[in-house]
């Protein structure tokens, strides 16, 4: 065998191993995709479509980070509106009290709470909240599972007063029922006895505290003696020495001529397991969804300019013609600029996710808008757009951060330029009302469909056919613009018709006493 034949054989072997490695990678990718599909279905079932009301909260700021469909229905908000609120906007405690309770949940001093929550309609509801810490990537959040107990509290106020009625209902209920006088057991149902592993004769005359683990004695004793009438949790002690979590609800009741106390006791072992699993699945699904979205967009938007740059570099290495070399150098510069813009968008969104710090001072809006229009004019000219700017006669002054406000307006104008076919018309107009300055950006571009319109301010969202190598971007421009405008206590509204064009309206509060 010659050296050439040996080298050829080695090359063939390496190629065979490489093909096998590629096949394994493809199989692993298919497995990962299947896992993602299963987790997506689990998440939809146990979080998004769950009847239990679930929130994720930042314990430091009180911001509502995420909410499931049940939470949106219960509080009466759309998801994007609900996740712009803080929990203190809903909870009827003071801000200081809300922060104190969040810290108790964060440090696991308590995981069960009873609050009064305000709905979007203004109605106040009594709720019980099961809350605790959960780690989401590098963020330490709180999960809250919320139950509306308004009707239950009303039902509790109508509890049975007659001994006969109590006995009939107690014998058929699935919950343990016990009647006691200052902790001495007077009566109970079979479910209660079975719950703790005793017979009814064994329990009668005994002490309630003997049925609970020592760590629960202070809570149970205090609630019995104080007449506490809200649900609370404790640790039950079975006759065999094992322990289990229970939920207790007690109230005063007449019994054989004395004022006794009745308590309903429920084993919540399965509920706690379900709650923990539901939260874990919700967090995992959110993590997977964010990774899917980011990887999909980033791989497309970063690969496109890199591919163009690679081709241009290859041509530069071989092409002796100076004009063609210069053209490819220009292409490289454009793609590098595009990569910088993509990364800047990501960095801007990361900063805005944390907080929006504004360096505000009085700003002449007509000058600010005019500077932005001049900045984007070359891009508009490249597409042969007509770009017009007009302003009303009144002096318009805002208390604003000019740099950030220019960024927001630049993003909206860039969006109009990109989404308007060659030779389009883009109009910018500044006006004001008695309390607000209004900036309108209108175009006769491709417009936005009814399906896409509610989502255009979501990060990474772009409606087709916007995704192409010319327009680029990661779908963050409008998201950044809205965050900046809302930080100025303003709002962005949009109207659009597919095939006709879009109009974005920025409304910002005027500086008092500086306009006229």
Mean pLDDT of the chain: 81
Asked if 412 and 468 sit in the same domain, the reply is yes
Whether 433 is in a domain gets the answer yes
What is the predicted pLDDT for the residue at 453? 86
Confidence check: pLDDT of 360 > 80:
yes
Whether 165 is in a domain gets the answer no
Asked if 371 and 490 sit in the same domain, the reply is yes
Asked if 245 and 326 sit in the same domain, the reply is no
Confidence check: pLDDT of 357 > 70:
yes
Asked if 268 and 288 sit in the same domain, the reply is no
Confidence check: pLDDT of 292 > 80:
no
What is the pLDDT averaged over residues 399-410?
90
Whether 454 is in a domain gets the answer yes
What is the pLDDT averaged over residues 71-95?
95
CATH number at residue 477: 3.30.565.10
Asked if 502 and 370 sit in the same domain, the reply is yes
Confidence check: pLDDT of 88 > 90:
yes
Asked if 137 and 224 sit in the same domain, the reply is no
What is the predicted pLDDT for the residue at 458? 75
Q: Which tens digit of pLDDT belongs to each residue from 109-124?
A: 999 999 999 999 999 9
Q: Which tens digit of pLDDT belongs to each residue from 179-238?
A: 999 999 998 888 899 899 999 899 989 999 999 999 999 999 999 989 899 999 999 999
Asked if 185 and 148 sit in the same domain, the reply is no
Confidence check: pLDDT of 462 > 70:
no
CATH number at residue 334: 1.10.287.130
What is the pLDDT averaged over residues 399-419?
91
Q: In sequence order, which ranges of 217-258 are alpha helices (DSSP H)?
A: 217-226
Whether 211 is in a domain gets the answer yes
Cβ atoms of 478 and 441 within 8 Å: the answer is no
Q: Which tens digit of pLDDT belongs to each residue from 243-290?
A: 999 999 999 988 877 889 999 999 888 888 888 888 788 777 766 665
Number of independent structural domains in the chain: 4
Whether 448 is in a domain gets the answer yes
Using CB atoms within 10 Å of the CB of residue 372, give its burial: 0 to 12 exposed, 13 to 18 middle, 19+ buried: buried
Residue listed under structure tokens 């896409």: 452
Q: Please state the pTM of the whole predicted model.
A: 0.40
Q: How many CB atoms lie within 10 A of CB 50?
A: 20
**What is the longest distance spanned by two Cα atoms in the chain?**
111
**Token pair for 437:** 């300055």
Domain boundary among 321, 351, 381: 351
Q: Give the structural domain span for 213.
A: 172-272
Asked if 207 and 260 sit in the same domain, the reply is yes
What is the predicted pLDDT for the residue at 137? 73
Whether 1 is in a domain gets the answer no
**Token pair for 493:** 């509204």
Asked if 375 and 343 sit in the same domain, the reply is no
Q: What is the DSSP string of 346-408?
A: HHHHHHHHH------EEEEHHHHHHHHHHHHHHHHHHTT-EEEEEE-SS--EEEE-HHHHHHH
What is the predicted pLDDT for the residue at 339? 67
What is the pLDDT averaged over residues 483-493?
92
Q: At how many degrees (to 10) do helices 322-354 and 269-318 cross?
A: 160
Q: What is the DSSP string of 115-165?
A: EEEE-TTS-EEEEEEEEEEEEETTEEEEEEEEEE-HHHHHHHHT---SHHH
Asked if 242 and 302 sit in the same domain, the reply is no
Asked if 499 and 381 sit in the same domain, the reply is yes
Whether 515 is in a domain gets the answer no
Query: Residue 303 — pLDDT band, cuts 50, 70, 90?
Result: low
Whether 164 is in a domain gets the answer no
CATH number at residue 109: 3.30.450.20
Asked if 392 and 294 sit in the same domain, the reply is no
Q: Which of 114, 56, 113, 105 is nearest to 85 (CA)?
A: 56
What is the predicted pLDDT for the residue at 84? 95
């Amino acid at each position: 065998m010659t050296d050439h034949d040996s080298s050829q054989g080695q090359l063939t072997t390496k190629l065979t191993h490489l093909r096998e490695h590629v096949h394994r990678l493809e199989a692993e990718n298919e497995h990962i995709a299947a896992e993602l599909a299963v987790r997506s279905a689990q998440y939809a079932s146990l979080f998004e479509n769950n009847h239990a009301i679930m929130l994720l909260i930042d314990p430091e700021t009180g911001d509502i980070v995420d909410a499931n469909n049940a939470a949106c229905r219960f509080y009466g908000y759309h998801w994007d509106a609900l996740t712009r609120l803080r929990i203190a906007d809903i909870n009827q405690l003071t801000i200081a009290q809300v922060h104190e309770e969040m810290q108790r949940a964060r440090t696991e001093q308590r995981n069960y709470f009873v609050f009064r929550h305000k709905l979007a309609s203004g109605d106040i509801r009594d709720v019980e909240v099961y809350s605790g810490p959960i780690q989401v990537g590098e963020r330490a959040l709180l999960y809250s599972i919320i139950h509306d107990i308004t009707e239950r509290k009303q039902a509790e106020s109508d509890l049975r007063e007659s001994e006969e009625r109590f006995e009939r209902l107690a014998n058929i209920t699935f919950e343990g029922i016990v009647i006691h006088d200052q902790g001495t057991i007077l009566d109970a149902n079979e479910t209660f006895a079975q719950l703790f592993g005793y017979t009814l004769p064994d329990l009668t005359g005994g002490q309630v505290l003997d049925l609970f683990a020592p760590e629960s004695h202070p809570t149970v004793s205090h609630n019995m003696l104080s007449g506490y009438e809200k649900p609370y949790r404790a640790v039950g002690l079975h006759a065999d020495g094992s322990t289990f979590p229970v939920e207790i609800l007690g109230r005063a009741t007449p019994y054989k001529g004395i004022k006794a106390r009745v308590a309903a006791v429920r084993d919540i072992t399965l509920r706690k397991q379900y709650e923990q699993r539901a939260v874990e699945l919700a967090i995992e699904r959110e993590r997977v969804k964010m990774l899917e979205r980011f990887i999909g967009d980033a791989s497309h938007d970063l690969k496109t300019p890199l591919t163009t740059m690679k081709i241009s570099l290859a041509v530069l290495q071989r092409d002796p013609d100076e004009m063609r070399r210069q053209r490819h150098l220009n292409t490289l510069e454009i793609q590098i600029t595009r990569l910088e813009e993509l990364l800047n968008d990501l960095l801007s969104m990361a900063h805005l996710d944390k907080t929006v710090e504004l360096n505000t001072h009085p700003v002449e809006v007509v000058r600010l808008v005019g500077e932005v229009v001049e900045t984007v004019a070359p891009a508009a000219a490249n597409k042969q757009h007509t770009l017009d700017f007009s302003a009303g006669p009144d002096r318009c002054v805002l208390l604003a951060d000019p740099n950030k406000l220019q960024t927001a307006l630049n993003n909206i104008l860039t969006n109009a330029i990109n989404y308007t076919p060659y030779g389009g018309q883009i109009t910018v107009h500044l006006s004001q009302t008695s309390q607000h300055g209004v900036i309108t950006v209108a175009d006769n571009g491709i417009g936005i469909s009814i399906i896409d319109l509610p989502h255009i301010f979501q990060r990474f969202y772009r409606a087709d056919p916007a995704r192409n190598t010319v327009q680029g971007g990661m779908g963050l421009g409008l998201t950044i613009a809205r965050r900046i405008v809302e930080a100025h206590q303003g709002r962005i509204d949009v109207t659009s018709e597919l095939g006709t064009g879009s109009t974005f309206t920025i409304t910002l509060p005027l500086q008092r006493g500086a306009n006229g």
